[in-house]
Structure 1
Amino acid sequence: MSQITPMAKARLTRELSLLSTDPPPGIAAYVPNPSDMTSIRAQITGPEDSPFEKGVFLLLVNISGRYPFEPPRCRFVTPVYHPNIDSGGRICLDTLKSPPGGSWSPAVSLPSLLLSIRSLLASPNPDDGLVPEISELYKRNKWEEEARKRTEREATVAKLEEAERGLDGDNINDEKRDVEKSNAEEEKKKDDGLASKRSNESNAEEIVAAEDGVKRTKR
């Protein structure tokens, strides 16, 4: 969970509200954990007249502590056969990069960013491709059929729901690990405190014994 400023939190609240009440076409977004608005999930339907038009794609959006002066980190969970999206779901898009290498600006909102990502599905940029092999196939007009096949296989509602359940399970495990780590740290503090107390008591006993020895010697 990123630590964000009150100003960034207020902005995120507005943008998430807008995504809920008046989202861009083909886009839905929500926060799975109300206590952490920096971790967002988005569902993007494939643009019409593209190989992705029958698909629905799951996207993770993570807000950094420097938002909006730094772009969110976005990654597709649903596999996408695309010149600008690699097998790990990473996206090559200028709006997702800070200047001078990219065009991110604090003026860019989450709704407009998600709309740009959806537009990228419909309009690949093979000259700035992330996957050379797919970029080459796109330039030779041998990409669309494979992209359509993979969309029909991977970008289904059932696959999306399965991916969501997997993410929910990961979050539960992360929370469990955090609790276990916290408990372990508390136990260690208690053990350290007890050990320190015993050490102090032992030192005190040694001092008393030494003083008794000195007294006996003087006698």
Structure 2
Amino acid sequence: MNIKIKNLYKKFRNREVLKNINYDFYEGYKYAIIGPNGSGKTMLLKALSGLIIPSQGSIYIDNKEMHKDFRFYESLGLIIETTKFYPNLTGYENLKLLASIRKKISDEHIIKTLKEINLLESKDQQVKKYSLGMIQRLAIGQAIMEEPKILLLDEPTIALDDDSRDMLFNILDQFKRKNKIIIVATNEKHDLKDKYDKFVLISDGEIKRSGDINDY
């Protein structure tokens, strides 16, 4: 499968936030979207997720056009900015509630996901008692639990300690081996070559450079 972006342009309140974006994403690769704050990284992920409608241009997933053939792609995992959970529900209850929308996974699969993100021992604890790192791990859990074909993650390592970062990238490696499309917006540049396959450098709403991560 692939995602094709053609001449994508988005304007908000007289401000151009995405300008003539053209790029193809393919399954089996981990992509790093790199750029300073305000460069357009999050807006690009919002466009790919269907959360914003382009002012001009098109996005195709498997040759079907977003906002024409479908509004939201049916197999997509997403972290955009801060993921909101119900604070008085437990971690398990929050994931179960989200899973009830599509009814694609069992309770046993939710437990498996909680174990994978190292929250099994805290599954019956109210989310309002979670640390920031635990909340971020729960956000990762909700994004991956249905094993989507596309993962869009906006700064997923925020508040994660070293062990949790390793957990995240192990999960991304598993998704890569299953031929998923993994797209991560990140400001972390120190270990890009160890974590990703491709890079897309965005500045001022435009793609300035892209290619293999070893060429970054």
Report the TM-score, using the length of structure 1 for normalisation: 0.28
Q: Which has the higher helix share?
A: 1
Q: Which has the higher strand share?
A: 2
Report the TM-score, using the length of structure 2 for normalisation: 0.29
Larger radius of gyration: 1
